[in-house]
Amino acid sequence: MANSKLHKIFHWEHWPLLMFYIPNIPYAFVHGLVARNLVFYTAVNPGITNSGIGSESKFKTLHILPKEYIPKSILHDQSSDISDTLQELTRQNIQYPIIVKPDVGFRGLLVKKIENSEELIAYLNKYPVPIIIQEFLNHKNECGIFYYRHPNQKKGKVTSITLKEFLTITGDGKSTIKELVLSDKRAFLYYNLIKNDSLIDWESIPHLNESIKLSSIGNHSKGTRFMNGNHLINEELEEALNRLSNQVEGWYYGRLDVKYNTLDELNQGKFKILELNGILAEPTHIYDTTDMNYWKALKTIRTHWKQLYKIAIYNHKYNKVAYRKVIPFLKEMFALKAYSNRLKKLSKQDI
């Protein structure tokens, strides 16, 4: 839709990821010169492939965490037999609905909620890439928590909490869901993305003030609104993250995407982790435009990169974590770019 494209051009929260990184490249370049290695950041999280630059397996990365924090999940490789995968779901007692997503993925591409085995089989046949199949968690809330800890310290810092509000419309008692979506100042931006969702009865008329959730996936690209929750940062939550971090070998910097029921449980560390994101992760509260502008967002990213630099330097000097060689690393990044383009092409099959 032309209007949605125009809206996204003039609202920076929808800009491509590169718009948040290219302006900060000189800052990173200076740090690279000081470190005498332009890919020094690969030493930040030695427990994650390339420290979590986006080329890592989400499945393997998630499983460096203690078992009690992660949802039940299995990995379906493109060479796997689908019948074996279905049997593994039964063996692990993973019930429908489930969440499926690429093992190496970006910004919600191909992430989908699956309701039954027929849908799963169709999905796996349609997308021949390694896929994570994960139990659907019914926790009431979802948020992103950015945390870092210097390797020579037992305590770290929570620097960002992003509360997530799923794409939702409210009934007026007379308009269809389709009409409500197209007239909603946020939902209309994602109409092309969700218009083929068979679970949405587009011609039904919700009751007055009835809330209709259009997506259960907490990605910004799926319409989820990111809200600044930094006022919720407290010592109890930081201590919960310290306990977790000290159990995970080789993770010092990144964002946890978590499901939880209440703030009290969140602070006590009673949550489930959907994804562990490394150095490519953003403090996603920057996308709350109610109290953030583009330039402040860029500065927030640089503030985090300063800590990333300190961690990398320490790991390299004292923990003998090797920096990647530049040329092989760049070859991997070009391969990753080609793979991401493939995912984008696959995702457009649904539009």
The amino acid present at 206, given as its one-letter code, is: P
Q: Tokens 């305590």 map to which residue?
A: 155
According to the model, what pLDDT value does residue 306 have? 97
In sequence order, the β-bridge partners of residue 272 are 259
Measure the N-to-C terminal CA separation of the chain; round to a whole number of Å.
12
**Cα–Cα distance, 122 to 208 (Å, whole number):** 37
| Pairing mode of beta strands 225-228, 211-213 | unpaired
Backbone angles phi, psi at 109, to 5 degrees: -60, 125
Residue 159 CB neighbour total at 10 angstroms: 18
Name the residue ranges covered by the structural domains of the chain: 2-69+143-165+224-350, 72-136, 168-214
According to the model, what pLDDT value does residue 198 have? 66
Residues whose CB is less than 8 angstroms from the CB of residue 148 and which lie 6 or more positions away in sequence, other chains included: 156, 157, 159, 252, 253, 254, 304, 307, 308, 311
The amino acid present at 346, given as its one-letter code, is: L
Residue 173 CB neighbour total at 10 angstroms: 10
Residues whose CB is less than 8 angstroms from the CB of residue 39 and which lie 6 or more positions away in sequence, other chains included: 32, 323, 324, 326, 329
According to the model, what pLDDT value does residue 109 have? 83
Query: If you ran DSSP here, which 8-state letter would residue 323 be given?
Result: P
What is the side-by-side strand order in the sheet with 253-260? 225-228, 157-165, 141-148, 253-260, 272-277
According to the model, what pLDDT value does residue 350 have? 58
Backbone angles phi, psi at 161, to 5 degrees: -125, 125
Tens-digit pLDDT profile for the chain (351 aa)? 446 677 777 778 778 888 888 999 999 999 999 999 999 999 999 999 999 999 999 999 999 999 999 999 999 998 889 999 999 999 999 999 999 999 998 877 888 899 999 999 999 999 999 999 999 999 999 999 999 999 999 999 999 999 998 888 889 999 998 888 888 888 888 888 777 776 788 889 989 998 888 877 767 667 788 899 999 999 999 999 999 999 999 999 999 999 999 999 999 999 999 999 999 999 999 999 888 999 999 999 999 999 999 999 999 999 999 999 999 999 999 999 998 888 888 877 654
> Domain 72-136 - what CATH class?
alpha beta
Contact 112, 143 (CB under 8 A): no
Query: If you ran DSSP here, which 8-state letter would residue 188 be given?
Result: G
Query: If you ran DSSP here, which 8-state letter would residue 261 be given?
Result: S
Chain CA centroid to CA 210, Å: 29
DSSP secondary structure of 276-295 = EE-TT---GGGG-TTS--HH
pTM here is: 0.90
According to the model, what pLDDT value does residue 351 have? 47
Closest CA to 191 of 214, 213, 172: 214
Q: How many residues can be counted in the chain?
A: 351
Q: What tokens does 279 get?
A: 């150095």
The amino acid present at 333, given as its one-letter code, is: M
Closest CA to 312 of 32, 26, 22, 30: 32
